[in-house]
A and B are shown apart, each in its own frame.
Chain A
Amino acid sequence: MTMLSSALKSSSLLRGPSAARCLSAWAQVEMGPPDAILGITEAYKRDTDARKINLGVGAYRTDAGKPYVLKSVAQAEQNILQQSLDKEYLPITGLAKFTSAAASLAYGTQALDRVAVTQSISGTGALRIGGAFLERFHAGKAIYVPGPTWGNHGAVFRDCGLKVGQYRYFDPQTNGLNLAGMLEDIRALPKGSLVLLHACAHNPTGVDPTSAQWAEIQKVVEECEHVAFFDMAYQGFASGNVDRDASALRSFVEANRAPVLLAQSFAKNMGLYGERVGTFSIVGADSAERDRLLSQVKILVRPMYSNPPVHGARIAGEVLTDAGLREMWLGEVKEMADRIIRMRAALRGQLEELGSKKSWNHITDQIGMFCYTGLTPAQVDRLASEFHVYLTRDGRVSIAGITTGNVQYLAESIHKVTKD
């Protein structure tokens, strides 16, 4: 962000009303960059065609295309309301019942006595606390993210004062993982670098390493003494199984060689999106270190927002600790993941049935909410203007926007723009 310079020197002060004729204090403020995804949503909303499909949506949708409030979540919320609890401030680190259950969910049974965990403003807030912590305590002020990565990663880390670099990740030739490039780039980083890893269901590509590939990645990270910062926004949502989805994270922690930090979100897997439920944690060497780390995390959180919102944490805490609700929840997460998997299979199947000459294996190879289709910007534009199908220009599709009702039309549209 640059400031306008000499043109405004004569009115270079923030001025009170005596200079009301002069420029606003904010006259030199530049327009912020437009939000790519928002643009898609706006265009979709303006479109009046009955066949329109919104594939930019970052939230789960049912097969009827509707938002989904999980039954386990609704039940938990009812339970809480009936208790007529007060709304007193939580401690800085949030609701203990929630944070300890969340840590167990992520880490399994290991290391829990040395994990410094705080409630956070969902995944974004966790990344922000982590970025602030690393900026303060990590020597090299740079973090490396996969190419591509979630659009907000760069903004969050840069605003923390970290430089943001990239390692190769997605292979556009195969629409899969460029493992060799990834390992080479991570190995080439200065020793002890910060490496951001998507724990599962990579956003935006849907390309996840296999467990064998994860083992290789882990080996390089450990050998280079890098720090692993995991972003886990889709635990349970990727494979349908919460333990499987956390296996890469847990493998790193079990080996106990690379330092591990974790940003954990319950936005998608509990459908708690707007309630902003998440945790940030650091795996310490022992419980004494855990206490020291937590003391520093509190210092970072207090000037950000003092303490986190209580309602979503109560709901999540209830779901995780009530045996019946937890079972129900695990079932619902699996259902959501299964519907996504079915829609992937359906889209690929329809494209193949239509006689498409292109390979669409990646649609079912990829995992989680998003799919990097390989569609070009020109094809994406045609899909919008001719077929009323809306996705981001990087070719990313939100599978949650696909339903049994629209998958055929979607396949036909994609086929039409790709067959030449």
Chain B
Amino acid sequence: MSYFSTVPQAPPDGILKLSVLSRADSDPSKVDLGVGAYRDDNGKPWVLPVVREAERRLNEDPNYNHEYMGVGGLPALTDGAQQLIFGSNSPAIGQGRVYTIQTISGTGANMVAAVFLKQFKRPADAAVYISKPTWGNHRSIFETAGHEVREYKYCNYKTLTLDIDGMLDDMRSAPEGQIFVLHACAHNPTGIDPTEEQWQQIADVMSERGHFPFFDCAYQGFATGDVDRDAYAIRLFVDRGFELLVAESFAKNMGLYGERTGCLHAVCQSSDVIPQVSSQLNRLSRATISTASAYGAKIAATVLQDPRLYEEWLQSMQDMSQRIKTMRDALRDKLVALGTPGSWDHVSQQIGMFSFTGLSKLQVDTLRNQYHLYMTDDGRISVAGLNSHNIDYVAQSIDAVVRSS
């Protein structure tokens, strides 16, 4: 009898199951709107020119090698990442009260934060609140780390806009001192972001209740096309004097996906606690991965530290976010032109890579089975999967399915 005979079969990952189905579909009209990665107007992955340039430079550097980085990661990356998120003039940086550790992209940063918070959060039984809905992996990451996970209202499922009153109510009625996972910009999966005024209200309530903010920032620059605007919420909270953690990913905004490049930032009240906070973050990271991967870090650092490459990168982000915006508007306009029942303004009002269409599971299944259109069961589409070649087909398919439901 095998030693492992009692190990059960685990369910497959929902989103990945979708890509398996999509890949197996050979129909020429197939459209993959499940993938969470940017695509160009020809539906192809896009490696940013500044990334290729950075790779070329690395390769031509006679001192290039694969030596270990320190536990904290590549200083050129962590320094550059700090300035990107908090602003190069951030007083928090100037006062030496930010510690940054390199991580295995955004997931790794979430994981380090989750483990750190489990060990050191006060009160020790503080729950972690995630938005309803949120990225599928959030619950898994925090539960695996041993936290109780609760939800706060976020999406108004009727209007597909922010349920700000519900969100603030949940924050007020939660016990004091809870941990709230906030999406810095381009909320995944809904694309619904608070306005600046709403962020101020959120900060007010979080402050009143002594809650701790954990920002997940996977789309800086990718949402509005402007890195400073996209960091508004984080910088607001820092200005208001919050201590906070920020998970930062370069997967989407630098197209570094599989290179797994990211950071976790800890903003503390004063530089006094930095030695112990950094030592504990280092210690726990050492026990999970020892150190993060070098290659993507070197690429990102090269881009962040070279003024010309940095400017080009800002432009690339604008180009990506602009193409996405164009597709949002196009989809909405075509659905309106077709007279598709329902309101479709939310498609162009939402922001970032994803749109919560409001389509039901049944409609989603029909779109997949009859129209070869792939999206997740919650009706989320990756707008990056839309392009000038498939937008008409997508609009028509959605129109047909909505009418026949």
Contacts and interface: CB of A to CB of B under 8 A. Distances in A.
B45 A88 contact: yes
A322 to B, nearest CB: 18
Contacts of B211: 14, 16
B29 interface: no
Interface in B143-179: 144, 176-177, 179
Contacts of A87: 45, 47, 51, 255-259
Interface stretch (B285-293, B314-322, B335-343): B285-293
A90 B256 CA distance: 12
Kindly name the residue among B2, B6, B104, B122 whose own CB sees the greatest number of chain A CB atoms within 10 A. B122
B307 interface: no
A363 interface: no
Contacts of B11: 295
A90 B66 contact: no
Contacts of B279: 31-32
A24 B274 CA distance: 10
A124 B288 contact: yes
Contacts of A112: none
Interface stretch (B224-232, B236-244, B374-382): B236-244
B241 A88 contact: no
Contact of A274 (B67, B124, B270): B67
Given A67-B65, A285-B4, A304-B111, A29 B280 contact: yes
B93 interface: no
A81 interface: yes
A272 interface: yes
A88 B37 contact: yes
A145 to B, nearest CB: 14
Nearest to A15: B210
A24 B268 contact: yes
A86 B45 CA distance: 7
Given A271-B66, A310-B259, A16 B242 contact: yes
Interface string B228-266: 000000000000111100000001000111111000001
A27 B273 contact: yes
A29 B277 contact: yes
Interface string A107-130: 000000000000001101100100
Nearest to B245: A25
B293 A26 contact: no
Kindly name the residue among B67, B121, B241, B284 whose own CB sees the greatest number of chain A CB atoms within 10 A. B67
Interface class of chain B by DSSP? loop
B122 to A, nearest CB: 5
B26 interface: no
A284 interface: yes
Kindly name the residue among A84, A158, A292 whose own CB sees the greatest number of chain B CB atoms within 10 A. A292
A18 B273 CA distance: 19
A165 B64 CA distance: 41
Interface in A299-326: 299, 302-312
B283 A32 contact: yes
A13 B140 CA distance: 25
Given A28-B122, A32-B282, A292-B7, A90 B258 contact: yes
B122 A14 contact: yes
Contacts of A73: 66
B291 A285 contact: no
Q: Which size bracket describes the interface of B in this complex?
A: 35 or more
A91 interface: yes
Contact of A273 (B66, B123, B251, B289): B66
A308 B12 contact: no
B294 interface: yes
Q: Which size bracket describes the interface of A in this complex?
A: 35 or more
A289 B123 contact: no
Interface string B45-89: 101000110010001000011111101000000000000000000
B66 A295 contact: no
A91 B5 CA distance: 25
B60 to A, nearest CB: 11
Contacts of A152: 286-287, 290
A155 B287 contact: yes
Contacts of A302: 13, 107, 137, 140
Given A137-B7, A302-B13, A24 B272 contact: yes
Contacts of A23: 269
B206 interface: yes
Given A12-B123, A121-B104, A17 B287 contact: no
A59 B290 CA distance: 14
Nearest to A311: B295
A282 B4 contact: yes
B94 interface: no
Interface in A67-97: 67, 69, 73, 77-78, 81, 84, 86-92
Contact of B289 (A86, A227, A276): A276
Contacts of B208: 16, 18
Contacts of B256: 87
A298 interface: yes
B243 A26 contact: yes
Nearest to B114: A303
Contact of B210 (A14, A125, A303, A306): A14
A25 B16 contact: no
A20 B7 contact: no
B237 to A, nearest CB: 9
B28 interface: no
A259 interface: yes
A20 B267 CA distance: 13
Given A16-B207, A155-B286, A310-B259, A303 B140 contact: yes
B136 to A, nearest CB: 9
Kindly name the residue among B10, B45, B273, B287 whose own CB sees the greatest number of chain A CB atoms within 10 A. B287
Nearest to A116: B4
A381 B34 CA distance: 60
Given A16-B209, A87-B259, A305-B107, A273 B16 contact: no
Contact of B8 (A29, A69, A89, A292): A292
B66 A69 contact: yes
A31 B276 contact: yes
Nearest to B177: A13
Contacts of B3: 227, 259
B281 to A, nearest CB: 9
B287 A285 contact: no
A412 interface: no
A29 B47 CA distance: 42
Contacts of A67: 65, 67
A237 to B, nearest CB: 15
A311 B258 CA distance: 8
Given A17-B241, A308-B260, 19 more contacts: A12-B123, A14-B123, A15-B177, A18-B207, A18-B208, A25-B120, A26-B277, A30-B280, A69-B65, A87-B45, A89-B37, A90-B258, A121-B289, A137-B4, A271-B66, A291-B9, A302-B137, A304-B108, A309-B295
11 contacts: A13-B122, A14-B179, A14-B210, A32-B279, A67-B65, A87-B51, A122-B289, A152-B287, A273-B294, A284-B2, A309-B295
- In the A-B complex, list the 10 residue pairs whose CB atoms are closest, starting with the nearest: A17-B241, A274-B294, A32-B279, A310-B258, A13-B177, A285-B2, A305-B104, A16-B207, A309-B293, A124-B290
